[in-house]
Structures are given as structure tokens and as C-alpha cells.
Amino acid sequence: MAEPNHLLEPVLDWYAENARDLPWREPGASPWSILVSEIMLQQTPVVRVLPVWTEWMERWPTPAALAQEPPGEAVRHWGRLGYPRRALNLHACARAVTDRHGGEVPSDHATLLTLPGVGEYTAAAVASFAFRGRHAVLDTNVRRVLARAVQGEEYPPKATTPAERRLAARLLPDAERAPVWAVAVMELGALVCTARAARCADCPISDLCAWRLAGKPAYDGPARKGQTYAGTDRQCRGRLLAVLRQAHGPVPKDTLDVVWDDAAQRERALDGLVADGLAEVLDDGTYRLPG
């Protein structure tokens, strides 16, 4: 097993040379802009997030600016990022920050966890990247790097375990470097130590990596199934929601019916959108975005 303290300097040096120039990493990035980026980046690649994040920051540069809009506007401008409940979470988060915290994103990790849609990872990321806190930031990329480099395993467990949290805490450097370490490991996982094709020749810790030194043993856990999209309820929901986003008022039911052939699946997806608060059905049977 690689000694954890051997990983720090090579990873930080690599990051200093290879970090992507992303607007939410700029020195002047506001805590709100960082929070928005973290929620948008959940299960979504940077290339898709950048244009939507930029539009949001121009339109809603503060939590108060978003809070005064109806939630449907957040859903409308979420575009095609997927998992649109995140847009509702961000809207609810903006209202909570505005109403309970004077319009300022809280810096305290425990308080961040009380915000709508903010979980363990997001709270740690915002506390670290926006407020320079010393927290273990465990996203999918970080977990994969640590699984390989330290544990000698190709992939981490499906859900974050207490052992992973203890390992991440043990790896944390001093308070000054902890936020940089967190984002550096994340970047290494995103660009080099990727899930499907690890570029070990380009890795700054390849000579320390327990997985590589063990001959890259194949993952022997439960089958890892790739996500399907075509023909799923999720795709159907996306088609229906796209119609509502593009409309400038309520949409007749027959306008929604034509976008998906399977009537039972379409009705199930439409009911799901209403139940999730992503759509509203009016008294006359038309549909619209919430609010």
C-alpha cells in the first residue's frame, strides 16, 4: 500500500501544471457561484455545465436574484443538464440562503448541510473551495483515485463507506493546502485516472500507485452496469419537460402527447414530473412549469 504522505507533493505539483481554467475556480469566484457549479456538476461533465453555469451567473449572480423568480424559471434555464430536480433544489437553496442567512452562503459545514439539496459531498466541497476549510471532499473521481493509489483496487465501493472517509481524513494535509489537495485529486481523477481508461503513463503518482504496482488487478465486485437512457422513463420525462421549458405559457395535453408514443409510459412520466414539483397541471387540464 502506498504511504499516504508520499502522494501529496506529486499530486499538488501536477495540479499546478495541469489544472483546467474554470471560472468557478478563479480567485474572485463567489461562494454562490461555487455552490451552483457543484450542484450542476453532479453526474454531469464540465463541458455541458459551463454554458449553463455562465448563463445562470449572468442572470442570477446572487441567491436573492434567483430566490425572487418562480421555481419554474430555474427549471427552464436548467437546459439539458439532466436530473432537473437539481434546479428545484438550487432554487429552494437560494430562498433558504436569502431568508435564513441574509443572502450569504454559510461558511460552516454543518450549516451548509441544512440547505436543500446539499449533501455530504457538496457541503464539504463548498466549505473547502469557497471558504478554504479543511474537509475531506469525496466525489466519484476522488474515491476512484484513492481506491487505486492507496487501496490497490480498480474501483471504490458503490456507496461511500466509513473506511473511505477515514482514509480521506488521514490524507488531509495542513489547513492551508487541504483545499488545493481536494481539488487536485478530483482533477487527477477527471483527467488521468479515469474510470474506463486510466492514463497511467501520465499519472504523477504511477510509481506509488498500489493498483498499478499490483499489476492492475481487475475489479471483482458486483457487475458495474452502465446507465441506459434511450427508451427510459428518464428520456420520456426529458422530452416532456423540454416542451414545457420552450413554451411561454400553459401547454395543452395533446401537445405533450405527441412527443412520446408509449401512452402508459408517457402518463407515468408526466405524473412523475407533477409529483416531483417539476410541472403543474392547471384546472383546465393544461400543464406548465412550476410557479
DSSP β-ladder status, 287-288 and 280-281? antiparallel
Q: Cα dihedral angle (41, 167, 222, 81), rounded to 10 degrees? A: 0
Give me the phi and psi of 287, to 5 degrees please.
-125, 150
**Rounded distance between C-alpha atoms, residue 14 and residue 17, angstroms:** 5
* Residues with active-site annotation: 38
**Rounded distance between C-alpha atoms, residue 69 and residue 91, angstroms:** 9
Reported in sequence order, the residue ranges of 143-286 that DSSP labels E, i.e. its strands, are: 280-281
**Rounded distance between C-alpha atoms, residue 279 and residue 271, angstroms:** 9
DSSP three-state, residue 186: helix
